[in-house]
């Protein structure tokens, strides 16, 4: 929901794996390398400028892949966008699991650590990167039905990660929810994505801090 240069190709939008150093190879050694380079370049663009305003030419130029090669891997720009969304979902769900399911910390602290990491990422990239899924949601009226369905499925999955964290907090007696876990989890992502957009607008992490403070105050046991 939530992080502008070719470094994204090295880190897959802060991907929690050992990063490569330096620029991507202009001529990848294998078909899989080329496809991965294209997907990572796509994540860079979609986290900054969105899908409808992005052009294939600039993406391909940035990684040195000719247009003919692109169509070997993806039948259209939309097919590419859907693949980028799937790749981002995979990356972000790994990040959510690493924070929200980490039993070394109590559930509320897990949320705080996730939010702190997100804020640091946004600042590190000069408020240019947002959430790829949140960006696509803002463009939803211009996207296909398949795209919208995949976006909804992504949010449902992310809500399930929050729900697991909240459920554990309830069992420990740390949380007292006035609404169902499902509704509370949905409310988190509705508020979080809005806070990310406002953070980029004013170039300050204050909206994210405000949202998280209000959310935690609303759910913690009194």
Tell me which residue range forms the domain holding 46.
7-219
Residue ranges of the chain with per-residue pLDDT less than 70: 1-32
Report yes or no on 2 lying in a domain: no
**Per-residue pLDDT at 22:** 38
Report yes or no on 141 lying in a domain: yes
Report yes or no on 208 lying in a domain: yes
Helix 206-219 with 181-202: angle, nearest 10 deg:
160
Report yes or no on 190 lying in a domain: yes
**Per-residue pLDDT at 28:** 47
**Per-residue pLDDT at 32:** 58
pTM above 0.85, yes or no: no
**Per-residue pLDDT at 111:** 97
The label of the residue with tokens 């007696």 reads 173
Q: Locate 49 and state its tokens.
A: 């400028």
- HSE, side-chain direction, 13 A CA sphere, residue 41: 24
* Rounded-to-integer distance, Cα 138 and Cα 171, Å: 36
The DSSP output letter for 122 is H
* Rounded-to-integer distance, Cα 70 and Cα 63, Å: 11
Report yes or no on 1 lying in a domain: no
- What are the backbone dihedrals phi and psi of residue 201, each rounded to the nearest 5 degrees, phi first? -65, -50
Q: Are 9 and 25 in contact (CB under 8 A)?
A: no
- The CA–CA distances, whole Å, from 76 to 45, 56, 81, 214 equal 16, 10, 9, 43
- Number of domain units in the chain: 1
Report yes or no on 14 lying in a domain: yes
Q: What is the CATH number of the domain that holds 73?
A: 1.10.357.10
Name beta bridge partners: 175.
Answer: 220
């Amino acid at each position: 929901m939530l992080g502008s240069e070719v470094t994204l190709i090295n880190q897959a939008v802060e991907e929690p794996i050992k990063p490569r150093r330096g620029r991507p190879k202009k001529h990848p050694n294998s078909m899989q390398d080329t496809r991965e380079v294209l997907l990572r370049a796509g994540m860079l663009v979609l986290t900054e400028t969105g899908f409808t305003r992005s052009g294939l030419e600039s993406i391909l130029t940035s990684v040195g892949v000719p247009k003919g090669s692109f169509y070997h891997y993806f039948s259209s720009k939309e097919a590419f966008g859907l693949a980028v969304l799937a790749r981002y979902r995979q990356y972000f769900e790994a990040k959510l699991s690493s924070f929200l399911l980490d039993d070394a910390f109590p559930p509320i602290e897990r949320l705080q650590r996730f939010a702190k990491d997100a804020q640091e990422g946004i600042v590190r990239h000069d408020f240019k990167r947002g959430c790829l899924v949140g960006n696509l949601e803002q463009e939803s009226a211009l996207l296909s039905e398949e795209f919208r369905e995949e976006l909804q499925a992504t949010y449902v999955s992310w809500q399930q990660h929050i729900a697991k964290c909240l459920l554990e907090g309830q069992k420990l007696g740390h949380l007292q929810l006035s609404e169902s876990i499902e509704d509370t989890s949905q409310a988190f992502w509705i508020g979080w994505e809005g806070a990310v957009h406002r953070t980029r607008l004013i170039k300050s992490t204050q909206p994210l801090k405000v949202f998280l403070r209000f959310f935690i105050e609303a759910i913690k046991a009194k």
